[in-house]
Amino acid sequence: MSLIEGDTEPKAFVMAHHYLGSYPAARFRFGLYHKGELCGIAVFSRPTNDLSLTNVFHCDPTLSADLGRFVLLDEVPGNGETFFLGQCFSLLRREGLAGITSFSDPLPRRTDTGEIVHRGHIGTIYQAFNGLYLGRSAPRKIRLLPDGSVFHDRNLHKIRQQQQGWKYASELLQRFGATPLNGNPGAWLDKWLPIVTRSVHHPGNHKYAWALDKRLRKQMPKSLPYPKFDPLFLHLAHVG
């Protein structure tokens, strides 16, 4: 494995193999290779809200990071995930980082035709790597496109305010039947959102944390009991 400079290779890998189809603002990028071929990517980023880090580690947010994307190909052996994660943490410790957080998304994603594009996960890898379980993030409503991907609230804001990236955001809806945006963006969204997207209740992501600095471990709370996966959730995930 190695530290990767630049986003070109890791972004292409993440966009091709991660169910969210998006890439975070990366601070550190690590690649896992087998016989010279890239087979895994870990991207560590700074979250939109620093409180996500400082509420856990109580230190300068630049001394911690969020594991924004962790993607391995299916052919990587089961122990490859914990090996890769451990190697990443060792290198980040050398870079001076003191803490890492990560979220796991338990909500299954389906296309309009019922095909599962994401089975949902509870952070089994993070549990195997002794992550501190901090509970769930706040529940919320999300909007899914027909292919099961999320149409994020920030896309709505970009379109309504005609901010940078609004054309790309509007093209996501056009891809599934919306007419080109020509006129009032609010009226356009009011018409096409309920046609192109479906509203789904999200119960909140599971949050895990690791103190890389031994001094931080003394101030960390005790881990909550690890969540367990309920296979019935695949059938009970509902459309709101």
- Shared domain for 177 and 217, answered yes or no, is no
Q: Spell out the alpha helix ranges (H) of the chain.
A: 8-17, 51-57, 79-94, 124-128, 153-161, 166-174, 185-196, 214-217, 233-236
- Shared domain for 71 and 164, answered yes or no, is no
Helix-strand-coil split of the chain, %, nearest 5? 35, 25, 40
Indicate if the pLDDT at residue 229 is higher than 90.
no
Which of 179, 156, 176, 175 has its CA nearest to residue 166? 156
Indicate if the pLDDT at residue 238 is higher than 50.
no
Tell me the three state secondary structure of residue 30: strand
d(CA 80, CA 100): 19
- Shared domain for 23 and 103, answered yes or no, is yes
- Shared domain for 14 and 96, answered yes or no, is yes
Range of the domain at 157: 152-196
124 part of a folded domain = yes
143 part of a folded domain = no
* Residue 220 CB neighbours (<10 A): 16
Burial of 63 from C-beta contacts in 10 A (0-12 / 13-18 / 19+): middle
144 part of a folded domain = no
- Both tokens of 136, joined, read 């769930």
- Shared domain for 32 and 120, answered yes or no, is yes
Indicate if the pLDDT at residue 237 is higher than 50.
no
Measured in degrees and rounded to the nearest 5, phi and psi for residue 140 equal -160, 175
Q: Could you give the percent of the chain with pLDDT greater than 70?
A: 95
Please report which confidence band the pLDDT of residue 231 belongs to, taking 50, 70 and 90 as the band edges.
low
- Shared domain for 162 and 53, answered yes or no, is no
186-199 tens-digit pLDDT: 999 999 999 999 99
3-51 tens-digit pLDDT: 888 889 999 999 888 877 778 889 999 999 988 899 999 999 988 888 8
47-105 tens-digit pLDDT: 888 888 988 898 888 999 999 999 999 888 878 899 999 999 999 999 999 999 999 99
- Both tokens of 147, joined, read 């292919």
Indicate if the pLDDT at residue 240 is higher than 70.
no
State the pLDDT at residue 117: 85
- Shared domain for 19 and 83, answered yes or no, is yes
Which of 212, 192, 226 has its CA nearest to residue 59? 212
- Shared domain for 39 and 107, answered yes or no, is yes
Tell me the three state secondary structure of residue 182: coil
Write the DSSP string, 101-141. Answer: EEEE----EE-TTS-EEE-----HHHHHTTPEEEEEPPPEE
**Helix 153-161 and helix 166-174, axial crossing angle in degrees, nearest 10:** 110
146 part of a folded domain = no
- Shared domain for 109 and 210, answered yes or no, is yes
- Both tokens of 152, joined, read 């994020």
- Shared domain for 94 and 130, answered yes or no, is yes
Task: Compare 199 and 219 and report the one with higher pLDDT.
Answer: 199
Q: Please state the domain count of the chain.
A: 2
Q: What is the pTM of this model?
A: 0.84
